[in-house]
Amino acid sequence: MELNFLTDNAIIYVLIAWVVIFGVAKGLRLERYGFSIKPYSLTYKNYKVQDALIRVLGRTRRGIRVFADVSVIAGFLMMGFAFWFLFSNITNFFVQPTEFAELTVLIPGVTLTSGSAIMYFLLSIPIVLVIHEGAHGIVGVMEKIGIKTGGFAIFIAMFAGFVEPDEEQFSKAKKISRLRLIGAGPTSNVIFAFALGAILLTNPMFAMVIPEPFLSAFYEEAEDGVLVLSVIEGGGAQQAGIQENDVIIRIDDVNIASAIDLQKNPLEPGDTVNVTILRDGNEIVFPVTIMASPDNPERGLIGIMRNDQPPMPVYNVINWGLDTPMGFQFSMFLLWLWMISFFIGIINMLPLPILDGGKFIHTIIDGKISEKAVNGTMIAIYAFTFITFGLNIGLSYVKSGWFTI
């Protein structure tokens, strides 16, 4: 989808919302309650957050100790997974283009332009940040690293959460204690994502985002083929003779059991494919010329409006009410919450200056070599990571142009 400020107006709405927030904060004189208000940001600091963390730790110390130890191992695993994904994705762009995963940075009003996407994002981010920063804080308290403040910040359309450890106590703490504190935030996000994902395996909509082999293991096809609800005027399907209520069961030699099979097998505009349909119990083959998508000229379409009934979960034990607006919206919110929690956890372990991964690596090599060597090594690691991540973003742009959600 092309970024179009005149039609979407998303960035305008985001700026209007920020002006309202800024005005309300000034009007209520929130500075009296620990807020810092600037034309471009709203920051809240709580200097008593350590007291709350101590109370929580008192009830869960044994479990937190296990979690903290796991966080160190998980930190290495998440960093390795992040690099593996980025390298594999770059390789797929050149070797298996259909497997390339397009990446973008989620920014309300810029890359997030639909009202629903912005709403799901804004509802998910506070939950993810509370889990992330809370884990940092409670492990810090357990390791006797004081937490000076905790809070959040809004930078117009971007959100951040933070706990601020006592720098002197942090620098004097044992290396393993520092690694536990750093790894706790990303690990908590990924654990939460796994727990939520286990519940969502009972939701048909989760089939849209999970990859093989999990898809085949936890979902079964709800139908044999894709029902044609209507054909696009002048499209390849209409010109070939495909009609409403036909059921597509095969494209060339690829069996089509559901709409997901269509998504797994991208089509190139201008190509001609043999589409096998069922009509009145009979199989008919039509040669269809693939048309270009109006939103993305590089994406091919058969030219139909289809029935997107997703596969059904094997463990279909929860009635999610997807046929109701509330049930559908709630399921979409949980999908966004799962996605954001998982990827914030993983991406946060990339060794970049502002991310936990950078602090993790710095803590590991600190003291083993000279300070000058540490700084040089970290600059090289930051540059390598930035280029790798940036290349994924750039290749996404090459494939689909400026795309929004």
pLDDT tens-digit profile of 70-103? 999 999 999 999 999 999 999 999 998 878 888 8
> Within this chain, do residues 150 and 53 fall inside the same structural domain, yes or no?
yes
The single-letter code of the amino acid at 76 is: F
Query: Considering only CA atoms, which of 70, 76, 71, 72 is closest in space to residue 351?
Result: 76
pLDDT of residue 2: 39
Residue 141 within a domain: yes
In contact, 357 and 350? CB cutoff 8 Å: yes
> Within this chain, do residues 292 and 387 fall inside the same structural domain, yes or no?
no
Determine the average pLDDT of the residues in 4-22: 68
> Within this chain, do residues 66 and 127 fall inside the same structural domain, yes or no?
yes
Band (222; pLDDT cuts 50, 70, 90)? low
Distance CA 108, CA 127 (A): 17
Residue 216 within a domain: no
More confident residue, 383 or 209: 383
Burial 315-350 (b: 16+ CB within 10 A, else e): eeeeebeeeeeeeeeebbbbbbbbbbbbbbbbbbbb
Is pLDDT at 264 greater than 70 in this prediction? no
Distance CA 163, CA 143 (A): 15
pLDDT of residue 114: 74
> Within this chain, do residues 24 and 135 fall inside the same structural domain, yes or no?
yes
pLDDT of residue 234: 87
Specify the 3-state DSSP secondary structure of 395.
Answer: helix
The single-letter code of the amino acid at 305 is: M
Residue 317 within a domain: no
> Within this chain, do residues 179 and 115 fall inside the same structural domain, yes or no?
yes
Residue 335 within a domain: yes
Q: Please, is 210 exposed, middle or buried when counting C-beta atoms within 10 Å of its C-beta (0-12, 13-18, 19+)?
A: middle
Q: What is the DSSP string of 37-100?
A: EETTEEEEEETTHHHHHHHHHHHHHHHHHHHHHHHHHHHHHHHHHHHHHHHHHHHHHHH-GGGP
Determine the average pLDDT of the residues in 221-234: 78
Determine the average pLDDT of the residues in 263-275: 83
> Within this chain, do residues 301 and 335 fall inside the same structural domain, yes or no?
no
Is pLDDT at 60 greater than 90 in this prediction? no
Band (404; pLDDT cuts 50, 70, 90)? low
Parent domain of 241: 223-309
> Within this chain, do residues 180 and 280 fall inside the same structural domain, yes or no?
no
Residue 210 within a domain: no
Q: How many domains are contained in the chain?
A: 2
Q: What is the pLDDT of residues 331-374, one digit of tens each?
A: 999 999 999 999 999 999 999 998 999 999 999 999 888 999 99
Residue 218 within a domain: no
Residue 314 within a domain: no
Query: Considering only CA atoms, which of 179, 11, 38 is closest in space to residue 107?
Result: 11
In contact, 185 and 356? CB cutoff 8 Å: yes
Q: What is the pLDDT of residues 117-175, one digit of tens each?
A: 888 888 899 999 999 999 999 999 999 999 998 888 888 767 778 888 999 999 999 99
The structure tokens listed for 99 are: 């497997």
Is pLDDT at 37 greater than 50 in this prediction? yes
> Within this chain, do residues 126 and 260 fall inside the same structural domain, yes or no?
no
Band (391; pLDDT cuts 50, 70, 90)? very high
* Alpha carbon 149 to chain centroid, angstroms: 28
> Within this chain, do residues 118 and 21 fall inside the same structural domain, yes or no?
yes
Tallying the residues shown for the chain, one arrives at 405
> Within this chain, do residues 43 and 111 fall inside the same structural domain, yes or no?
yes
Band (9; pLDDT cuts 50, 70, 90)? low
pTM equals 0.78
pLDDT of residue 342: 96
pLDDT of residue 3: 40
> Within this chain, do residues 140 and 189 fall inside the same structural domain, yes or no?
yes
